[in-house]
Amino acid sequence: MEATTKKKGFFHARLSVKKDGPFRTYINILIGYIDTVVLMNFFFIGTSLGIVTIGPGLAAMYDVYEDIAENRNEHRYRAYFRHFKEEFNLPNVLVGLLSVLVMAGLSYAFYFFFLNVKNYIWFTIPMILSILLILYINRFLAYYFLQNSRLDLSVKSRIHNSFLLSIAYIKNLLLCDLGFAVLFLVPLIFIEYCFPLLIVITFSSTSLSCMMSIYSVVNKYALRDIDYDPAEIKETEPNLRLDLINNKKQETVKK
């Protein structure tokens, strides 16, 4: 892995607490690959209109970000639709569909209590529970689809790991929760004012923040199947720093 370029812009120099932490990684890829993030958002929205295709769409987004992490040079739109076709299977469809149905039910319950319950305490309790459950589902999806992209595991193992890891590693998911709250819940609540943000960047950027939060956790702590082949496990670390952005610029010049 090449050393990080010494020359740093304003954002790269000041928006990171840890040298190679998930927040720095997230900011770097968001700035350096904003065109890809926007494209992924539109592709995901377009392919998710059928509802049952939401799961494969999420899987395809995670696969594209995994391609970026490993410096694969395939055109992003080609990669997305190729991954979408590959990931269109029953487990991904069911995971995506069930998650959306549960989130929709929790959102309906939230608004029901908001409109019908006048007591502040009785309204606050279900509101907090609904938000916590929605955040947990978001964590579960992040773990499930990142495992789907990085590890050759059975569906049962992926689900088992997702349930356990989304409870055990709270600290690692702070960026995931922050990204989900700022980029999804806020636009959803203030939809009249934030609708352009929701359409342009929300879904793909939220997925990116979740992926960066749990990348190392999945590599180190996801339980493997008993008969797994160690040679098939990718142990590479995400190389999403300034050198990645520079590589992208060099590729653009060559073309």
pLDDT in tens, 11-39: 333 333 344 566 677 777 777 788 888 98
Question: pTM here?
Answer: 0.75
Provide the pLDDT for residue 8: 37
Q: Which residue has the higher pLDDT, 237 or 225?
A: 225
State the distance between the two ends of the chain, measured CA to CA, in whole angstroms.
24
Burial status of residue 127 (CB atoms within 10 A of its CB: 0-12, 13-18, 19 or more): middle
pLDDT (mean) for 42-67: 92
- Please give the Cα distance from 40 to 207 (Å, whole number): 10
The 3-class SS string of 168-181 reads HCCHHHHHHHHHHH
Provide the pLDDT for residue 11: 33
The per-residue b/e assignment along 219-244, b for 16 or more CB within 10 angstroms, e otherwise, is beebebeeeeeeeeeeeeebbbbbbb
Token pair belonging to 191 = 């939809």
Query: Which range among 5-9, 178-182, 224-228 has the greatest average pLDDT?
Result: 178-182
**Neighbour tally for 191: CB within 10 Å:** 11
- Please give the Cα distance from 255 to 252 (Å, whole number): 5
pLDDT above 70: percentage of residues in the chain: 74
- Please report how many Cα atoms fall inside a 13 Å half-sphere around the Cα of residue 185, on the Cβ side: 17
Structure confidence at residue 135 as a pLDDT band (50, 70, 90): confident
Structure confidence at residue 205 as a pLDDT band (50, 70, 90): confident
pLDDT (mean) for 82-97: 93
- Please give the Cα distance from 176 to 214 (Å, whole number): 8
Provide the pLDDT for residue 16: 33
pLDDT above 90: percentage of residues in the chain: 20
**Residue length, the chain?**
255
- Please give the Cα distance from 202 to 138 (Å, whole number): 14
Contact 23, 174 (CB under 8 A): no
pLDDT in tens, 233-244: 555 444 444 444
Provide the pLDDT for residue 17: 33
Which residues does 217 contact at the CB level (< 8 Å), separation at least 6? 143, 165, 169, 172
| Mean pLDDT for the chain overall | 76
| C-alpha distances in Å from residue 230, one per residue of 99, 140, 151, 234 | 31, 24, 10, 9
- Please give the Cα distance from 217 to 140 (Å, whole number): 13
